[in-house]
Amino acid sequence: MPDDSFQLLLFGCVMLALTPLIGSYMHLVYTGRWTLLTPVLDPVERFIYSLMGIDPRAGHHWTRYALAVLILNFLGFLLLYAILRAQNILPLNPRGFAALEPGMAFNTAVSFMTNTNWQAYSGEQTLSYFSQMTGLTVQNFLSAATGMAVAVAVIRGFVGQQEKTVGNFYVDLTRSILYILLPLSIISALVLVWEGTPQTLGDYVTARTVEGREQIIATGPVASQVAIKNLGTNGGGFFNANSAHPYENPTPLSNYTQLILIMLIPAGFTITFGRMAGDIRQGWALFAAMSIIYAIGVSGVYWAESVPNPAFANHPIDQTDGNMEGKEVRFGVASSAIWAVTTTAVAAGATNASLDSFTPIGGLIPKMNIQMGEIVFGGAGAGMYAMLLYVLLVVFIAGLMVGRTPEYLGKKVETREIKLTVLTLLLVPTGMLLMPAIALLVPSARAAIQETGPHGLSELLYAYASATGVNGSAFAGFNAANPFHLVAQALCMLAGRFVLIISILAIAGSLASKRSLAPSTGTLPTHTPLFIGLIILVVIVFFGALTFFPALALAPIAEHIEMMNGRLY
């Protein structure tokens, strides 16, 4: 389909053009250099440091950096939990919504604190404007900025020379919000309002339909939350339908705008990494590896969804445009495929189509994106430091092949770093496979699965992949408000976010104290097509396929075989 091919090509070209621009800008911001916003924001930045008693010149050892991350996020969790539990007595609640019950408030507060934004509720029927703005939107900024700050600290550790510190968390956090997230969110929100997204504190609108009935149309401060939910790769929607809702995503142009926002910071971090390393080729190598995996995913989903469902071969359903079940007509198969792969590869969690209605193979690829560990661009900052874990694993395997101590950016990767890397990577399948297995043994938890057969298993696997991978999207057909899953998924979110952060900061702190060595004849170049191919091989084959194939064989693959025989679930 020529139009679909044009959409895919245009998106790729736009991202290729914007990535070096945002990456270079973030490099200037995090290294404290002058930018166009410096004259305006520098006095604000210095005032914040003065008000909070922060010395911006003081660096943090990795342990202090990690402790600062945990303290700030714990305080954010407490504040959000309190807001949700007390929203019935707080202002800006025109619909008079009741306070959230403890389990739901706990799950939601953990979800937004960890940048997961898993939503076990319907936003427009549950949360007040105050909860949406002061609670969720503020946390969207903090959680995204946390990931970006950690990414910068990790990069400093990888490229530093015998350093005892990895930067100052409060400085990195402040600069992430002031110079990057806030300006881009304001511009994006204005564009969305221009496109038709509401931004109001007025009550819901009562309209009269053509049949003469009254209909209540939910509205509110939508644009401000949609802007940061996408830019910060948070994904939590104002409405239950998320980015399929015409108020969150009114036009094809708004759809493309939001896709670009989702990809912008994660892709840009590859160039930031290259510039901070003093070798831009290192950044482009990571960008290339991520892009190839991403392109494979988009091609696979597009193929799966553009082919008619064989189960409907003798049914009078028009399948000229492929599998349109659960998709918005204004977006079609191409935009739905790009969005599904983007938001699961980038860990944004927003959806503009029902993943539950995708074909089995079309749903398998988004699930695998999450299961690979938030590394195909990944969350804002989080994708960068998660990918570096795989890079360490690749150089270790390559070192074994040639009988040398592995090196990366001139630094020897030794026993401590490899142990931490392997232990951290084992966390992913533990949460994504062990917790669903436990849930199947608990009758009340098993009752939350609403579909039968392999499709029901897909829903359960996806839910825990989404939680552990801090993604936040869902397959539907799954009662996320079930008490067991509220607690179990919250624990997966906490582990998936903070165990990874602590581990990668420990690795960065260890590498920061080392001296870089000059490359020798036995040094593996880490900017070549060979190295890019090794990354792809390790991520897809060694980790993805070998770890998750048995579970996927029982769920989407089995369902696909059944579908080819005309049986649906």
* Distance between CA atoms of residues 473 and 371, nearest Å: 13
CA distances from 37 to 20, 42, 145, 171, 181 (A): 18, 8, 18, 16, 13
Q: Render 488-552 in DSSP notation, one character per residue.
A: HHHHHHHIIIIIHHHHHHHHHHHHHTSPPPPP-TTPPPSSSHHHHHHHHHIIIIIIIIHHHHHHH
- Structure confidence at residue 176 (pLDDT): 97
Question: Which residue, among 189, 98, 196, 102, has the nearest Cα to 140 in the 3D structure?
Answer: 189
The answer to whether the beta carbons of residues 417 and 507 sit under 8 Å apart is: yes
Q: What is the pTM of this model?
A: 0.94
> Consecutive sets of 10 residues in the chain, 569 residues long: mean pLDDT of each?
73 92 96 94 95 92 96 96 96 94 94 91 92 94 96 94 90 97 96 94 89 88 94 90 91 91 95 95 95 92 85 65 82 89 89 89 90 85 90 87 81 89 85 90 89 88 91 82 90 92 94 83 83 87 80 89 79
- Structure confidence at residue 330 (pLDDT): 84
What SS3 string covers 202-266?
Answer: CCCEEEECCCCCEEEECCCEHHHHHHHHHHCCCCCCCCCCHHHCCCCCCCHHHHHHHHHHHHHHH
- Structure confidence at residue 270 (pLDDT): 96
* Distance between CA atoms of residues 501 and 69, nearest Å: 9
- Structure confidence at residue 533 (pLDDT): 92
- Structure confidence at residue 314 (pLDDT): 64
* Distance between CA atoms of residues 235 and 243, nearest Å: 9
